[in-house]
Amino acid sequence: MKYQSKIVVLVSSLLVVCFAEDELKRVHSGFAAQVNNEKITYVLTDYELQDITINGQTFKKPIIPFGGLNAGEGDPVLPTVTTFYQVAPNKSYSIEVNIQSSEFVENIDIAPHQTWDPVTDEITLPFKRNIDLYTSDEPYPQKQASISQTIVFRDLPVVKVAFTPFRYHPLSRQLEIITSADIDLVETGNIEPLQIPSRRSRVFEPLYESIVVNYSRSTSDEDYQTPSILYILPSNSSNLMANLDILFEWRHKSGYVVNYVSTSTTGSSTSSIKNYISNAYGSWTDPPEYVALVGDANGSYSIPTYFENYSSYNGEGDHPYSQLVGGDILPEVILGRLSFSSTTELATIINKTVQYETNPYVSQNWFHSASMVGDPSSSGISTIITCENIKEMMEFHGYDDVRTIYNSPFPSQMVSDLNAGLTFFNYRGYWGVSGFGNGNINSLSNGFKLPVATVITCGTGSFASGTSISEAFVRAGTPTQPKGAVASVGTATLGTHTMFNNVVDMGFYSGIFSDGMETAGIALVRGKLNLYLNYPNNPNNYVNIFTHWNNLIGDPALRMWTDIPATFTVSHENAMAAGTNFIDVTVMDYFNMPVEEAYVTILKGDDVIFESAFSDAFGHISLPISTTSTGDVDITVVKRNYIPYQGQFQIIDQAVNVNAIEGGYTIDDDSEGSSIGNANGIVNGGETIELTIPVYNYGTDDAQGLYCKLTSDGDLVTFLTDSLYIGSLLSGMTANIDQPFVFEVQASVMENDNLDLRLFVEDVNGTSWWSEIEVFSAGSLLEANAVIVRDDPVYGDDILDPGETAELEIELLNNGSVIATSVVGRLYSNFSGIEMLDDQGYWPVILADGMSTNNTDRFEVLAAEDVIPGTRVDLLIDLESTTGLSTSLSIPFQIGIKDVNDPLGPDAYGYYAYDNGDILYTNAPYFNWIEINPLYNGPGTQLPLSDYGDNQDDVTTVSLPFTFKFYGIDYDQISVSSNGWVSMGSTSMQSFRNYHIPGPGGPSPMIAVFWDDLMTTSSGGRVYKWYDEENNQFIIEWSSLRTFDNNSLETFQVILRDAQHYFTPTGDGEILIQFADFNNTSTGNFGWGQVHGNYCTVGLEDHTETVGLQYTFNNDYPVAAMPLQDSTAILFTTRGSNILQRGDINQDGFLNIIDVLTLVDFIQAGNTGSLNPYLADVNADEIINFLDMISIVREIMGF
């Protein structure tokens, strides 16, 4: 019998997190996934049937956000969405599709796929159509979904799932649009286990969370590899080693496994070098996370590079060296190139790197300094906007000296800023770098005040032909008199484009400041990933091209400074007796406060000792010493923005030196003598253990009057016998203590708990020694894996909806080695909207490495009626068992499923978005336009904003009539842009290119009202302000503006409400956005003259660029967001909401005669007045009349 198991995958094309922050966290190619490792949700929330003319005939082309294409030439163009899913490494899978809902379009001609010229963006002739397919009565595609073979992404086995949410019937000319579907991954058998790294990479986790929808971090340090870096050296590297050893030694002392190899070993071609890297990635215990290419692309010391064939420029780039698995652009290793042409240049680069990290120039006035250079003369004002975005990001993170250069003369100002000392130098402009070149770099005198330089524009990274600017920055100076930069990012070829350069640039700095990425290499990966996020359709292969063209010159593991360096105070023994098997290290800061997650490494000789670990919350870490070899041991402590601590301790011989013999312990649990247990020689909960510990005299003299005491730093054991007397012990002899130590083990111990035992030994002279005794327990280790809802067996949908009662089963996994029996659980939650009607559950048995549910004794819960569907709560479970297990678990749980009639959110701060379609909610706004344009008799005042097209974008600062709190921060000013956004506080940014939020790009904090490239007009297209003092609200109106892309009319307003009069639970002001004329038409153009497009962005973003609530971007809407049109409104607020009942017209929670009289007055007044039409239309016939009054009466009377 063939065994099959299923993984249910529900695929989603949502770009934005529309549920609570903990529920939907990862976004990749339009997919959003629940973080319970079980399902992805697909709901086709938006699509467009675009007209396309081919060979004189008009066709329809379905367009969806993030849609790719699997069609062959001449086949119907139907978009496909994809995602990655983590699976077992030794299994194969097939796929099944269950369509949940769909709709149909009749009499439609779907365009056949044609080939396109990559330069002109025009269709190549002749026109082609698959006649057999277009005349077939079979639907296309025949398979709605496909699944790849199991592949590897770094250290994760994944499958790529592709789904086409359309099905075309050519003969009947009917298009089926699949609006929701369930996809089952069916395990079909075993495959040869994939060779993948056995441990995870911490460096890559941010990438995992962006790409693999069901990835979750581990809480165990043992699951992660040691940091690892590989240096690829030129074949003639023997005379380089004296310099390279300085870098290698520092990297190793700071905790890296360091490997190097020359091309005389790997081979000198790109393919042979890549094969070596690939083999290292696949077979080493600690596969390289970073790979540094040491050499130029040509010349005396060379490492070859690749040349892409996506474009006619055939630009150079090292990125393919990182693409070790699959055909995607995502890296398996992080790259950098130490480009040099002489040994002196290499010595300069290495000295810069090591001194920068270990002994930075300590003057404080440059660590918060940066220079932003934007030249709009050829590349447009977006270069300045990009710099302003990065500037504000830096200032939020403590920078107080971010200089800007936006006007000529550029070179002299750039030289001046660089000589003053900067941590970052950023240029956005055109080919030629505004006249700044290698000569300017070589004239610098900035010494050791070395920046990381990003010069992302044409030709700055063309390192395969001459010395590029990015190379010149890093090579500049001498070993003792450095200058230039410590690392630099440049772009190859003369064919770069502003919009893509901007995205990489902002992504690089967002990675550093918003995401906290520490190294130059991973920051560049973040910049490239920003391309992937903002242009997920890879138009004209531009994502691939710019990913290839942008390269780092410098060590990819360079730890960058982003703050004034702090100092460590590190405490440890200066001398340890040979045989001592651990050292305690305590890391404090200058103020004697503990430093958590400092990375501590001890290193002796040729890895006689090489151990690393992170300090805990108390700044403490204990590291093992695995040798009795005497001599010096280096100890190094590193952490972001701390000057590394470099110290030593010694392992010394003593005349008398008594310590435990590592691993020589005997565990006795045979129920003889004092022991009580199951006689398996393993520590289990509830046992009484006899532990025998042999000790050895490593000294040259005999020991006299030895006394031993066993201690524990934890609370898992109770000692019955903790002290023993040995007496004498001759030099070089072992004492097998006749009597064991005896202790009781807490019944609640779990799998792999460390008993934290240490042995204290003291002789007659008072000399003492300590040994760490590593003893671990075996037990159950329970994990809450899933919540299974059992509602009505006939009409239920296995979802706990608001107002519903249901039974719950909790699936528990036992990751331990001991069976858990008779497990009793109590279920509770701190969320007030869920009531426990039966909080007791029972699991009879949970096998080791098995799972079980409480299906014989379920919990029963009631969800309150006013819970917003899609709300995520934490269910808490206290578990106990007859075997002594006692633990508490938490598992996320969702109440209901959002639809378009529910509010969007909340985000991580607590903002919801209610639109005027959320008619069941008290907070739903009505569209009630407040005209303030004086041309239409409004009371507003025109703002001094003038934006008549390209590079004329404008922004102005306006004082508020009241203090307005936004994401917890009070503001008295706002900045208003001609491009449809408001930023809290004052900014000079003029951002016209809209991006997804939260994220890099645009000002922060931000209210994206209708963020798009807009234009004021001489015929009345203006922006106005007005304080509605009577209603305590401040209004900004963009009246009759035009989009730059399609010249569409836009009229909209934002209304800021005074929180002193409009109360919210957080004190944050409410934000009402209204659209009188809404035309979302900025589709963009990705041919030669690129126009950004991406439609408009609507939503909120906080001051960190990491928290926000996006309502729409790129014409994509989350499930709960109603597609916008004329006369629509959105209210952003931190208030939750109550669901309303039809007929409760006065919204007092009761149906009574007052509601009847209110309805009568409304009807007699000719349906004029203010009331919720949904509540008044009781019989739901879309007409408010006396029939509704009769319906209310019937409800009141109960018939």
Q: 1181 pLDDT exceeds 80?
A: no
Q: Does any domain span residue 924?
A: yes
Q: Does any domain span residue 869?
A: yes
972 and 1099 co-located in one domain? yes
CB 602 within 8 A of CB 645: no
Q: 38 pLDDT exceeds 50?
A: no
CB 401 within 8 A of CB 365: yes
pLDDT in tens, 739-778: 899 999 999 999 999 999 999 999 999 999 999 999 999 9
Calpha distance 752→248 (Å, rounded): 36
Q: 229 pLDDT exceeds 80?
A: yes
1032 and 1158 co-located in one domain? no
pLDDT at position 130 is 84
886 and 923 co-located in one domain? no
pLDDT at position 992 is 67
The CA angle 1091-1094-1095, to the nearest 5 degrees, is 105
The CA angle 108-113-116, to the nearest 5 degrees, is 135
Q: Does any domain span residue 1049?
A: yes
Q: Does any domain span residue 522?
A: yes
CATH code for the domain of 861: 2.60.40.10
544 and 450 co-located in one domain? yes
- Stretch 76-93: mean pLDDT: 79
Of 114-118, 337-341, 813-817, least confident by mean pLDDT is 114-118
pLDDT in tens, 969-1005: 999 999 999 889 999 998 877 666 777 788 766 788 9
Q: Does any domain span residue 233?
A: yes
828 and 723 co-located in one domain? no
CATH code for the domain of 432: 3.40.50.1460
Q: 21 pLDDT exceeds 70?
A: no
The DSSP element (H or E) to which 718 belongs, if any, is: strand 717-721
Q: 48 pLDDT exceeds 90?
A: no
Q: Is the dihedral of CA 542, 543, 548, 552 positive or negative?
A: positive
Q: Which two tokens stand for residue 414?
A: 């750039």
Q: Among 511, 527, 552, where does a domain finish?
A: 552
Q: Which two tokens stand for residue 327?
A: 């055909």
CATH code for the domain of 619: 2.60.40.1930
Q: 274 pLDDT exceeds 80?
A: yes
672 and 645 co-located in one domain? no
b/e map 821-852, b = 16+ CB within 10 Å:
eebbbebebebebbebeebebebeebebeebb
The residue among 1022 and 7 whose pLDDT is bigger is 1022
Residue 53: pLDDT band with limits 50, 70, 90? confident
CB 147 within 8 A of CB 161: yes
Backbone angles phi, psi at 1120, to 5 degrees: -85, -5
**How many Cβ atoms are within 10 Å of 644's Cβ, its own excluded?**
20
Residues in Cβ contact with 1182 at an 8 Å cutoff, skipping those fewer than 6 apart: none
Report helix angle 542-549 to 498-513, nearest 10.
Answer: 60
Q: Among 708, 735, 766, where does a domain finish?
A: 766
Domain total of the chain: 8
CATH code for the domain of 322: 3.40.50.10390
Helix, strand, coil % in the chain, rounded to nearest 5: 15, 35, 50
pLDDT at position 43 is 66
Q: Which two tokens stand for residue 352?
A: 């810069």
Nearest to 1072 by CA among 924, 868, 852: 924
Q: Does any domain span residue 164?
A: yes
pLDDT at position 4 is 32
994 and 1107 co-located in one domain? yes
The letter for the amino acid at 616 is: D
Residues in Cβ contact with 1197 at an 8 Å cutoff, skipping those fewer than 6 apart: none
Structural domain harbouring 749: 658-766
641 and 682 co-located in one domain? no
pLDDT in tens, 113-137: 775 443 333 455 567 788 888 888 8
Report long-range pairs for 219-222 (Cβ below 8 Å, ≥24 apart): 221/613, 221/614
pLDDT at position 771 is 95
SS3 state at 358:
helix
Q: 699 pLDDT exceeds 90?
A: yes
204 and 253 co-located in one domain? no
Residue 1066: pLDDT band with limits 50, 70, 90? confident
Q: Which two tokens stand for residue 154?
A: 């770094």
Residue 1082: pLDDT band with limits 50, 70, 90? confident
* Model pTM score: 0.70
Question: Considering the chain, what is the average pLDDT of its residues?
Answer: 87
Q: Does any domain span residue 1020?
A: yes
1047 and 1128 co-located in one domain? yes
Of 334-343, 569-578, 981-990, least confident by mean pLDDT is 981-990
The DSSP element (H or E) to which 273 belongs, if any, is: helix 270-283
Calpha distance 540→548 (Å, rounded): 14
Calpha distance 97→182 (Å, rounded): 6
302 and 406 co-located in one domain? no
Q: Does any domain span residue 1103?
A: yes
Q: Among 716, 735, 766, where does a domain finish?
A: 766
688 and 833 co-located in one domain? no
Q: 846 pLDDT exceeds 80?
A: yes
